[in-house]
Amino acid sequence: MSGQFTTLVVAMGATSPLAGRLAFASVFAALIVWLLLAPASLFDESSTTARPDKTPLWRNTRTWAIAVAAFEMLTYLLWR
Amino acid sequence: MHLGSIDITFVVLYLLGIAAFGMWMGRGMHTGFDLFLGGKSLPWWAVAASLVVSDIGAKDMVGLADDGYRYGLVMTNFDLIGCVFPVLIAAFLFMPFLWLAGVYTIPEYLGRRYNQYVRLCFAVIWAVFMVGTLGVIFVSAGTMFESLLGWNFSTSVLMTAILVALYTAFGGLKAVVYTDLVSCVVLIIGAILICVIGLQEVGGWQALREKVDAMPGTEYHFQLLRPADDADYPWPAVLLGLGFVLGPAYWIGNQAIVQRSFGTKSQSEARASYVMCAAIKTLFPFLLVVPGLIGLALFHDKIGPGNSDSWQGGQVLPELVKLLPTGILGVVLGAFLAGIMSNLDSYVNSAATLCVTDIYQALINRRATGPQLMWLGRALVVMFLSLGACCSFFVRERFGSVFEAFQTFLSFFQGPLLALLLFGMLTRFATQWGGLAGLLSGVTVASYLKFGTTDLSFLWIAWWSFVASVAGVAIVSLFTKRYNDDRLRGLVCWLPMRQERG
């Protein structure tokens, strides 16, 4: 079953490490987009501080998460 | 190996210090709530460090160095896509939600969301898995002590078990988390020292690449990803099996991991602990895999090719450690001890929590008092350590690569676990019987693929068991009655608890 799946992937031309790099980087890119666009209510940020609009960026967990995801995305794209 | 007096002093002080510190942290403990969740008083930064070393322990130090030697940098994906990606999702979507649900264990959540059969199945599966994992960790300890200190395997296992039992039984999760914080610092320092001194020995990063590239069968050792038709780690299998199944299941559903974030002071602290863990983990894979490449460059003639039948696992890191000068060796040995102890204490504490919460309290004695649960938990800590030590003799005989053994254990039920958690938390659609069907179908497919086929990567096994589990939940849920919204409040992300008025 998985052998057939691998054959399918190979047949689609996704054998090269370049295709893999793009696929892995895309996963982190999608994560960054989700972190940027998701509403504050989903993350319940209003409960973490009395005045969420005044929280400095460096104390915001969402900012740190985006930075980490961006680092990972660049690692997959740029590593040689 | 000859240890200098300064090395021995450091190691002995470290061992005694960490045990005393753990026992001191556990003072004033009165109930199971204190023992298992640290009284929900744990700070996020300590929990973050504990998350890191609960995942990266002795098994990874030995196992990843071995696999770095055999496969190269592709092994970093276990952290890069297998950890950072799911941890960041879990930080914002799952952990705060589970914290609010107020559960002690993942099976407890599954029991409330599906039914008691699912809860019991996963509690038993986790307990068995944890005993196996404890055995794997004990093997790492025994291998390292045998090579470094000349102790025999049984003595190494016994010493380790007694030490961990002392502070885990008395201090509970609070002791585990704070000793893990110390272990994390020592572990990072030790890993950096091995890399720096090893690279100096080879002649630097460029010399390392040239030496490894000149060897046969190493054309992908410096690539993060291997081709899709690679026999061991094809990138589609790494992405689907590791990134989308094993990683998320581990970081969302592994009791030994998530339990410490249940012990934070608030849901926002649970989230912060996961994000900080992800930040730390961006650096760890290179610190753990690069030593394998260094070992390949330095000890290829002695250890032999990693893809041959004569390959003996567990030798790369001990050989590297022998390069270290007196003084530094003590710190690195301390790092190894830190890894062993943090892994052991995490798993043994979680196994006890599972048995007390999901088996004893749920099935045997619903009216047990807090002190009763605490003492039972302490007894179970000792019992699980004993079982794990016995199991280590079997694990040692059966498996060549310690890390691969760990992943084989995981791949059997991580797919079904993830499917049930995702369906359970994100949809109202899944029914109690759908959950049970998903569990059975996933484990059945994983068993068939493992024992009924040959040479199938555990990554593919994880992926297909997840797919089978998703199909099982979906199909059976179509034909069975689902719970109403009131029953699901607080259990499904989109159905929060009703706010009390007034």
Q: What secondary structure does DSSP assign to B39-95, as a single string?
A: GG-B-HHHHHHHHHHHHSSHHHHHHHHHHHHHHGGGGGHHHIIIIIHHHHHIIIIIH
Query: Could you give the count of Cα atoms lying within 13 Å of B275 in the half-sphere of its Cβ?
Result: 24
**What pLDDT was estimated at residue B148?**
66
**What pLDDT was estimated at residue B217?**
80
Q: Where are the beta strands (DSSP E) in A8-80?
A: none
3-state helix, strand, coil in chain A (%, to 5): 80, 0, 20
Interface residue B234 vs chain A (CB under 8 A):
yes
Secondary structure (DSSP) of B40-52: G-B-HHHHHHHHH
pLDDT tens sequence across B341-361: 777 888 888 889 889 988 898
Rounded CA separation B127/B417 (Å): 14
Beta-carbon separation of A64 and B225 below 8 A? no
**What pLDDT was estimated at residue B10?**
81
**What pLDDT was estimated at residue B468?**
95
Interface residue A73 vs chain B (CB under 8 A):
no
**Least CA distance to B223: which residue of chain A?**
A80
B333 phi and psi angles, rounded to 5 deg: -65, -40
Interface residue A72 vs chain B (CB under 8 A):
yes
To the nearest whole Å, the CA of B374 is away from the closest chain A CA by: 32
Beta-carbon separation of B92 and A42 below 8 A? yes
Please classify residue B152 by burial: count the beta carbons closer than 10 Å to its beta carbon, then call 0-12 exposed, 13-18 middle and 19+ buried. exposed
Interface residue B145 vs chain A (CB under 8 A):
no
Give contacts of B282 with chain A, Cβ < 8 Å: 68, 71-72, 75
Beta-carbon separation of B80 and A79 below 8 A? no
Higher local confidence (pLDDT), A44 or B64: B64
pLDDT tier at A43, thresholds 50, 70, 90:
low
For B85, the closest of A21, A28, A38 (CB atoms) is A28
**What pLDDT was estimated at residue B146?**
74
- For chains A and B, count residue pairs whose Cβ atoms are closer than 8 Å: 112
Give contacts of A31 with chain B, Cβ < 8 Å: 85, 88-89
Beta-carbon separation of A71 and B460 below 8 A? no
**What pLDDT was estimated at residue B14?**
81
**What pLDDT was estimated at residue B400?**
54
**What pLDDT was estimated at residue B500?**
44
Give contacts of B278 with chain A, Cβ < 8 Å: 65, 68
Interface residue A44 vs chain B (CB under 8 A):
yes
**What pLDDT was estimated at residue A12?**
46
Beta-carbon separation of B239 and A23 below 8 A? yes
Give contacts of B82 with chain A, Cβ < 8 Å: none
**Least CA distance to B453: which residue of chain A?**
A1
Q: Which residues of chain B have pLDDT under 50?
A: 500-502
CB count in 10 Å sphere of residue B125: 18
B42 phi and psi angles, rounded to 5 deg: -85, 135
To the nearest whole Å, the CA of A38 is away from the closest chain B CA by: 10
Give the helix ranges, DSSP H, for B266-305: 267-281, 284-303
Q: Which domains does chain B have, with CATH numbers?
A: 5-403 (1.20.1730.10), 412-502 (no CATH)
**What pLDDT was estimated at residue B502?**
37
In order of A18, B67, B79, B81, the CA distances from B282 in angstroms are 21, 19, 7, 10
In order of A7, B138, B306, B393, B395, the CA distances from B390 in angstroms are 43, 9, 29, 6, 9
Cβ under 8 Å to A: B residues 60-99 = 80-81, 84-85, 88-89, 91-93, 96
ipTM of the complex: 0.83
**What pLDDT was estimated at residue B147?**
67
pLDDT over threshold 70, residue A7: no
Interface residue B304 vs chain A (CB under 8 A):
no
Rounded CA separation B399/B412 (Å): 16
To the nearest whole Å, the CA of A80 is away from the closest chain B CA by: 7
pLDDT over threshold 90, residue A28: yes
